[in-house]
Structure 1
């Protein structure tokens, strides 16, 4: 069991503490800010109190038994500024969650570079800054990468892992293995603004806002369409898998129509869609699309996906028996 340190006792640090303590790891919330003792004690009580409340909430909604709360909470400790060096010296993995300013990051990583073992992994949880940029603040830089958690961290399975140009591949492998070991679903992506999910969801959220702005539908109707249409399908099929399922040619022609009808280039197809069309890589029908279907039994694959849709329908309470 690796020893975990979460630097920064805010929302992200507390969420990460819940995740790893739940999975059996010892976790220390580390506050690097030099505070008066009363303020440090207040922050400690607030952080541990919120973690306990979160665990009790998770028990209350059926994730675990109430009796599990105390032993999980016992795995979480708090280190104020004066205790930080000792706590960090024993950490195998350090997650940084200080405020999203370059100055705060630079100061934090300078401290972590001296207080941690050289083989300890240092991962930033930033949602805005690139690992290539932050890596320069860490020594040695090979042990640094980004680990972008999605809130609430203790529930959302996905973690976006973004190594920098100098990150040792073995470090990426260690972090991915650690995350998989606690039940998370890590995805590796290059250092790029917005990673994967924020980049996709920003487009969807802005377009939903435009639909309200243009009077196409009410906010309530748009959210209903999202939950029972968009979200329902993308809970089973990945976005690119969904393109292949329906056919890249359908997207190609839809892009053209939407661009013309709405007089905007927001729906213009990227070059890869046109290249796939030209090469005949349009999905299931040609056994090649964004994904490779050449070695799978397509009817069995389709049946499995449809069965998953039925399971989700039942979970949502939207499945109805037939009229016979």
Structure 2
């Protein structure tokens, strides 16, 4: 596994907020990163913005000391897309979420890049397979989806299409890990994973506002201070296993008295409960955490939640109101 991006040649095509942030991440990890956009002037302007922004981030303790100098050494605005990608071994496309624009950009990248260069797209919703039609040697193409703001969010979706080479997936993960990020490999389906989950929550939240159950402000408060409080440490399956899958099964039945279709019990949950796999208390569930590790898990959970509360108190409330 790569532990540093020193010596790697990378291009980011699309130097706006997302592309620029991705370029910062990769350049700070040691790669020599070319920044390209619709014109040399736009690329230069965004390069200047990223350098100025980095100075503020260093002053605020968000970037390490010396980060600005590292960016000035490793990041450079290209005169053209062709110049940016010509000798790159990894290229990240981060242009607007419009299929026609992405197709045109990917065709330009294919024409100018090395035939063995890995090409990633930062799309959040567009099918990777649909975009692959515009890529020469499409087996080297995949989704590499950073989240906003990319310098500070650690998770990255890796999305191969049906024809992506397995070695390309591993090499893309290697690059992302070397930049200090975490990866999850997901299938090329509409919305992938991140946005399907995010929009499912938002959809139910809007229903609650529309039917008068609670205000938007009160829903945000509940999400932040209850299950949202847990999510930095545990995903939904870990939380369910700790709560007890039999408890989840019962709660689904309760929800069905008011919303029989919207809260139908997932078959995967019913099957586990029927098999007596109830989560951490039985040592088997979604994640199969051994029952004898429950005390250790609970101790970690409690410590994590106290630390989160202290962090929130130190930061103070978000300046929304």
TM-based fold match above 0.5: yes
CA distance in 2, matches of 1:295, 1:229: 25
What does the per-residue CA deviation read over 1:213-253, in whole Å, with 9 as the maximum and x for residues that have no partner?
22222222221211111211111111111010101111112
- Give the CA deviation at 1:269: 1.7
Whether 1:12 aligns to 2:23 is no
Q: Is the 8 A contact 1:21 1:73 kept in 2?
A: no
- Give the CA deviation at 1:108: 1.7
Q: Is the 8 A contact 1:123 1:146 kept in 2?
A: yes
Whether 1:277 aligns to 2:277 is no
TM-score normalised by the chain length of structure 1: 0.89
1:201-220 alignment runs, 5 A limit? 201-220=198-217
Whether 1:238 aligns to 2:235 is yes
State the match for 2:58 in structure 1. 59
- Give the CA deviation at 1:67: 4.6
Which moves more between the two structures, 150-159 or 7-16?
7-16
Which moves more between the two structures, 48-57 or 18-27?
48-57
State the match for 2:164 in structure 1. 167
Whether 1:3 aligns to 2:9 is yes
CA distance in 2, matches of 1:239, 1:9: 34
1:64-103 alignment runs, 5 A limit? 64=63, 67-81=66-80, 84-103=81-100
Q: Is the 8 A contact 1:51 1:73 kept in 2?
A: no
- Give the CA deviation at 1:147: 0.8
State the match for 2:49 in structure 1. 50
- Give the CA deviation at 1:266: 1.8
State the match for 2:176 in structure 1. 179
CA distance in 2, matches of 1:300, 1:216: 38
Whether 1:155 aligns to 2:155 is no
Whether 1:224 aligns to 2:230 is no
TM-score normalised by the chain length of structure 2: 0.90
State the match for 1:311 in structure 2. 307
Task: Provide runs of 4+ in structure 1 moved above 4 Å.
Answer: none
Unpaired runs of 5+ residues, structure 2, are: 1-5, 315-321
RMSD: 1.9
Q: Is the 8 A contact 2:44 2:77 kept in 1?
A: no
Q: Is the 8 A contact 1:56 1:66 kept in 2?
A: no
Q: Is the 8 A contact 1:131 1:162 kept in 2?
A: yes
Number of residue pairs aligned between Structure 1 and Structure 2: 308
CA distance in 2, matches of 1:108, 1:233: 40
State the match for 2:27 in structure 1. 21
